Amino acid sequence: MSDADERNSGPGGRRPLTLRGGSGTVQQSFSRGRSKSVVVEKKRKRAVSPKDAAAQGAKTTVPTAKQAKESPLAAKARELGLSEEELISRQRAIQRARAEAAERAAERQKAEEARSERAEADKRKLEELKKREAEEEIRKEREAAEAAAAAEAAAAQAAMAEDGDAAPARKDPAKAKDKDRDRSDDAESALEEMGGRVKRKGAAGPGRGTPAVARQKGSDRRRSGKLTIQNVLEGDEGRQRSLASVRRAREREKQRRQQGGGEREKITREVVLPEAITVQDLAARMAERAADVVKYLMKQGQMVRVNDVLDQDTAELIVSDFGHVVKRVSESDVETGFIAEDDPEDTKKPRPPVVTVMGHVDHGKTSLLDALRATDVVAGEAGGITQHIGAYQVNLKSGEKITFLDTPGHAAFSAMRARGAQATDIVILVVAADDGVMPQTVEAIKHAKASGAPIIVAVNKMDKPDANPNKVLQDLLQHEIVVEQMSGDVQAIEVSALKKTGLDNLTEAITLQAELLELKANPDRPGDGVVVESQVEQGRGSVATVLVKRGTLKRGDIVVAGAQWGRVRALIDERGQQLKEIGPSQPAEILGLDGAPEPGELFAVVENEARAREIADYRQRQKRQAATGSGGGASLEQMMARLQQSEQQEIHVVIKADVQGSAEAIAQSLEKLGNEEVHARAIHAAPGGVNESDVMLAKASKAPVIAFNVRANKQARELAEAEGVEIRYYSIIYNVLDDIKAALEGMLSPEQRETFIGYAEILEVFNITKVGKVAGCRVTEGVVKRGSGVRLLRDDTVIHEGKLKTLKRFKDEVPEVRAGTECGMAFESYEDIQKGDLIECFEITEVERKL
């Protein structure tokens, strides 16, 4: 303090103290922001010290009494640059602070004393405790010794007297453990008695007791409760377990409890097993640790990782060995309930009929469909350009509706039927009045009859002068189509698609037929139906035209269509109008699927994305399996076995085309290319550009990618380059077929053709040492060549076929011997030759085969 003052007073005498600057901020004794008061304290000291007062008195006796009374304070105030009142209040504050500090110090002192007393008491108690424990220990040892002795006596093994000593010694470790536990328990209770905090969780070790000891030892330390190395070392000698040892003990106890508890509370679960499951998934389903499953399999000699897939049998074994119950499910179970059961009759409401137009080429199917489209009474109002989406609905004047499937030709019809989609209710058979029943008309009749859909005959081109409807009806009789005019039940309507006549009669006939069929569906349920057409369009993604058969399909619904799924982003009709929902028999384009489903595949609304993904994944797997023709089992062994079994060789190709139709057409044509030895198979045929997944599929199947009127995107191109997958671009279907055909021909094993070159007769047989039997022959016909194939004929029967070892003229090896010349011949590893045998000589030539 004085130092500070001296520093404050400059060399040139005392400067008045100011509040600014560091002069008064002596913080050692009055910390926490009371620095200013320290400056003032010095002045106050001077003022109150008797010595100073005397000096001051001596100095100030000269002035008046009033001055003398005022001067000390006033002078100081002046010196400090403060008013007298300020100085007084400051001095008071200082006094107060001092008093408080003194009080706090006293309190601290008291607290310290109390603490040390407590620590002392703790120590005493612990010592008592120790003493008790020591006694207990001695007692136990004594007891153990007695017990051992008793046991010995009972066994009457006096000779083994040393065992009596050894017994307690043997028991020691166990006992020591018990002792430790007892000791720690005792310590805990004692501490609790003392109001100490004892954590009961796990095995409480003596380490918990140390804080008490530490407190007693380091009474001057504020953090004496903390366990330090020193504390532990200096602490109670009898309880020197390290923190780590306590932790270990606790961990052991925890494990013991877990294991014991686990066994006791073993819950048997019903584990659902699909056809294939990963180790991790299996462990999760059993609520076991994956590591345990891996360990189990290791013991069985199988090295697996958690992500490895197990088959159902292996998984079942594991599940039962782990004590759970197996419930096998087939993968196809995911599809259960995908297409819901039939609705109760009372929920169904009438729905418009779905009509397909079929007939011979150029009989006017397209023209008729266009003409019917034009009859729509609301089409004009709505405006918009109609687009081909594969299906459209016509609103009749009567208010009724008819849905037409705009995919003329029975190929599309049968393709749909082949996929189990009976979308058509009524078939319109178009027959040109001037042409009559033609081969494709007959085919169409067969398809229609097979589907069970009633037929309505539309006798078209009635405007033509040479139209002869009666002939048409007569011809139809031969194919068991008996029209109403001939007392049958099939309606026949005369129309002209060109002149648009008879169309009303036709639509009327359709509605009449529909009424007879009593077409009904429940509109108040999630929608399902059939995919009519699909393709991937630039900028729109995959677009599928669907026809709802039951329920209502809304925008935002999650649908699964074939192996594709997605949330319906938009519903668009053929006039390009956005719809919010579509009901039974209503077609619309849907956007939002993750791929193009195949025409004829069923679609349905599912409750959530997870379910949609599950079904779609399953179906994609199925497709892939069907495409690769494997019944599962991808191991090398199984593959080799398959290869050995099958003599047929296959070329796999991945086909991507601009539209589904082309993809299918190429795929079908390819399949027709092969023969019994080689053939080609499209493992994937879909519309859309070539993407990475196509390349990967091609890579996996060692197949080239055929890109028909489509291109590969950049990533796919790069991947194909990196993986060595060939992408072939085509725009003419015949070129695709030619190339594949050439490749197949290349795979055909060349034909081996045999050409006879000569005969030789054996005149004599010589037995030559080291060489064996040699035939002395004369070439009777053609030429005999070394290295060519030979047959040995005896009485016109082939008794051996092989090669010549030697061909000699006198003593020289010669390449060939001509007719009329004698020579020596020996067979390769064949000796049974006789005089009079004939040797036939031939050459094999390989000829490339064609398909």
Residues at the site binding ligand GTP, with contacts judged by CB under 6 A: 359, 361-367, 408, 460-461, 463-464, 496-498
CA distances in angstroms from 658 to 271, 391, 707, listed in the order given = 46, 20, 9
User: In this complex, which beta carbon is closest to ligand GTP, that of residue 366 or of residue 468?
Assistant: 366
> 363 labelled as ligand-binding?
yes
Two tokens at 273? 């097993």
What is d(CA 227, CA 319) in angstroms, rounded to the nearest whole number? Answer: 49
Two tokens at 583? 């009901």
What is d(CA 749, CA 847) in angstroms, rounded to the nearest whole number? Answer: 9
CA 7 remoteness from chain centre: 79
Q: Which residues pair with 578 in a beta bridge?
A: 572
User: In this complex, which beta carbon is closest to ligand GTP, that of residue 359 or of residue 527?
Assistant: 359
User: In this complex, which beta carbon is closest to ligand GTP, that of residue 145 or of residue 411?
Assistant: 411
165 φ/ψ angles, rounded to the nearest 5 degrees: -75, -40
> 463 labelled as ligand-binding?
yes
Least gap, CB of 432 to ligand GTP (angstroms): 7
Least gap, CB of 497 to ligand GTP (angstroms): 4
Least gap, CB of 386 to ligand GTP (angstroms): 16
* Strand (E) or helix (H) holding 717: helix 714-723
Least gap, CB of 748 to ligand GTP (angstroms): 37
User: In this complex, which beta carbon is closest to ligand GTP, that of residue 335 or of residue 370?
Assistant: 370
> 408 labelled as ligand-binding?
yes
- Whether the CB-CB separation of 731 and 744 falls below 8 Å is answered with no
> 324 labelled as ligand-binding?
no
Least gap, CB of 400 to ligand GTP (angstroms): 24
> 359 labelled as ligand-binding?
yes
Least gap, CB of 530 to ligand GTP (angstroms): 22
Name 76's Cβ contacts closer than 8 Å, sequence gap at least 6.
43, 44, 46, 47, 87
Q: Name the burial class of residue 146, with classes exposed (0-12), middle (13-18) and buried (19+) by CB atoms within 10 angstroms of its CB.
A: exposed
Least gap, CB of 461 to ligand GTP (angstroms): 4
> 361 labelled as ligand-binding?
yes
Cβ atoms within 10 A of the Cβ of 843, count? 14
Name 483's Cβ contacts closer than 8 Å, sequence gap at least 6.
457, 473, 476, 490, 491, 492
- Whether the CB-CB separation of 755 and 840 falls below 8 Å is answered with no
Least gap, CB of 418 to ligand GTP (angstroms): 20
Radius of gyration (C-alpha) of the chain in whole angstroms: 53
> 406 labelled as ligand-binding?
yes
What is d(CA 665, CA 669) in angstroms, rounded to the nearest whole number? Answer: 6
The DSSP 8-state label assigned to residue 586 in this structure reads -
- Whether the CB-CB separation of 513 and 454 falls below 8 Å is answered with yes
User: In this complex, which beta carbon is closest to ligand GTP, that of residue 379 or of residue 444?
Assistant: 444
What is d(CA 531, CA 599) in angstroms, rounded to the nearest whole number? Answer: 5
SS (H, E, C) 368-404: HHHHHHHCCCCHHHHCCCCCCCCEEEEECCCCCEEEE
Least gap, CB of 439 to ligand GTP (angstroms): 13
User: Residue 389: which of 588, 101, 240 has the closest Cα?
Assistant: 588
Name 754's Cβ contacts closer than 8 Å, sequence gap at least 6.
789, 842, 843, 844, 845
Least gap, CB of 367 to ligand GTP (angstroms): 3
Least gap, CB of 440 to ligand GTP (angstroms): 8
> 360 labelled as ligand-binding?
yes
- Whether the CB-CB separation of 531 and 565 falls below 8 Å is answered with no
User: In this complex, which beta carbon is closest to ligand GTP, that of residue 184 or of residue 367?
Assistant: 367
User: In this complex, which beta carbon is closest to ligand GTP, that of residue 408 or of residue 674?
Assistant: 408
> 407 labelled as ligand-binding?
yes
> 366 labelled as ligand-binding?
yes
Collapsing DSSP states into helix, strand and coil, what is residue 463? coil
CA distances in angstroms from 640 to 32, 197, 633, 634, 644, listed in the order given = 87, 71, 11, 10, 6
The DSSP 8-state label assigned to residue 266 in this structure reads P
> 281 labelled as ligand-binding?
no
What is d(CA 588, CA 391) in angstroms, rounded to the nearest whole number? Answer: 8
Least gap, CB of 463 to ligand GTP (angstroms): 5
User: In this complex, which beta carbon is closest to ligand GTP, that of residue 126 or of residue 448?
Assistant: 448
Least gap, CB of 414 to ligand GTP (angstroms): 15
What is d(CA 585, CA 548) in angstroms, rounded to the nearest whole number? Answer: 5
**How many CA within 13 A on the CB side of residue 488?**
18
User: In this complex, which beta carbon is closest to ligand GTP, that of residue 445 or of residue 710?
Assistant: 445
Q: Which amino acid is at 570?
A: A
- Whether the CB-CB separation of 67 and 60 falls below 8 Å is answered with yes
User: In this complex, which beta carbon is closest to ligand GTP, that of residue 453 or of residue 497?
Assistant: 497
Two tokens at 440? 């494709």
User: In this complex, which beta carbon is closest to ligand GTP, that of residue 368 or of residue 547?
Assistant: 368
> 409 labelled as ligand-binding?
yes
User: In this complex, which beta carbon is closest to ligand GTP, that of residue 457 or of residue 593?
Assistant: 457
Name 577's Cβ contacts closer than 8 Å, sequence gap at least 6.
382, 384
User: In this complex, which beta carbon is closest to ligand GTP, that of residue 255 or of residue 470?
Assistant: 470
The annotated binding site is made up of: 359-366, 406-410, 460-463
Binding-site annotation: residue ranges for GTP: 359-366, 406-410, 460-463
